[in-house]
Amino acid sequence: MSFPINTILEGDCVARMNALPEKSVDLVFADPPYNLQLGGELLRPNNSRVDGVDDEWDRFTDFAAYDGFTRDWLAAARRVLKDDGALWVIGSYHNIFRVGATLQDQGWWILNDVVWRKNNPMPNFRGTRFTNAHETMLWCAKSADARYTFQYDAMKALNEGLQMRSDWLLPLCSGPERLKEEGRKVHPTQKPEALLYRVILASTRPGDVVLDPFFGTGTTGAVAKKLGRKWIGIERDPDYAAAARERIAKLREGDDLSALETPTRRAEPRIPFGTVLERGLLAPGEMLWDGERRRFSAKVRADGTLISTEHRGSIHQVGAAVQGAPACNGWTFWHFERDGKFQPIDLLRQQVRAELH
């Protein structure tokens, strides 16, 4: 068969993945059945029935049957994934530990377990356990030495300049985003787009191919389209597939590369500190400080080095020396003063970079 980009393939996920070309996709996001093992109806305190997961697709005869199912779809996903691609699997305590063991048995390399902490979880109506307020995602590479994609700078920017942690506080899918038909949920476990936004932004680049073997109502495809990624969905329920097609068709595809791609610091041109002087943004003889605290100071020399009371050298060397530290990022440590305000010299570097583009 030809490579089916931006398409929903209906049928069994293992058979459909095995029909795709080997090593053809960049990312697999999988939201498999959780094997919830529910017994009886779950009622709220007002005696109304909780609309939980009791569908046939989540029922397995025993753990051995579930383990066999897990081995089969993971093996198919491994075959279709590129060597430097990645896999994300989401689950709950009902299944994620069994999935994790199978992943390791098959040679996958687990990079992180990421906890989706729900800020609006469903209460434990029976009052017999803690409120189950999180799900777990396993982020995996095909091997320990795989050169997988991680958009570190994009994740840090998304988190307002702080490293993104492995616990994500995000709400359940609700409101207009939740697909409903005649007042009932189209799918009982529709994931929020915010969750897939992070996964796809972190693990792929624009134009990459994202495969979801348990597509449901198409959250993965919807987010991939918005972020300028290609996608393939596999779904065996024709009603879910139809809802997903209708949902994704309404969306505008992201195609502005400048808005979709976060340049990494390594990819940006190197700017020596001397260039800041050459452009006239600082002058020889000006003083730099460590910020408003003014504990340390150094004078700018014409050759782009600094000189303090006891030390001379690069912005990094002098910054480390005055602190008695083994290393220092001089761009963020040293500040210049303008109109009574202290700003990091990194702002001047960014100004030079902007002029070069």
pLDDT of residue 127: 80
Considering the chain, what percentage of its residues have pLDDT values greater than 70? 91
pLDDT of residue 48: 47
Give the torsion sign (CA, 337, 343, 348, 354).
negative
**Which residue ranges of the chain lie beneath pLDDT 70?**
1-2, 37-55, 57-58, 263-268, 357
Contact 288, 335 (CB under 8 A): yes
pLDDT of residue 44: 42
pTM: 0.73
pLDDT of residue 57: 58
pLDDT of residue 266: 62
pLDDT of residue 50: 44
Span 91-140, pLDDT tens digits: 999 999 999 999 999 999 999 999 999 988 878 777 888 998 999 999 99
Span 334-354, pLDDT tens digits: 999 998 899 999 999 988 887
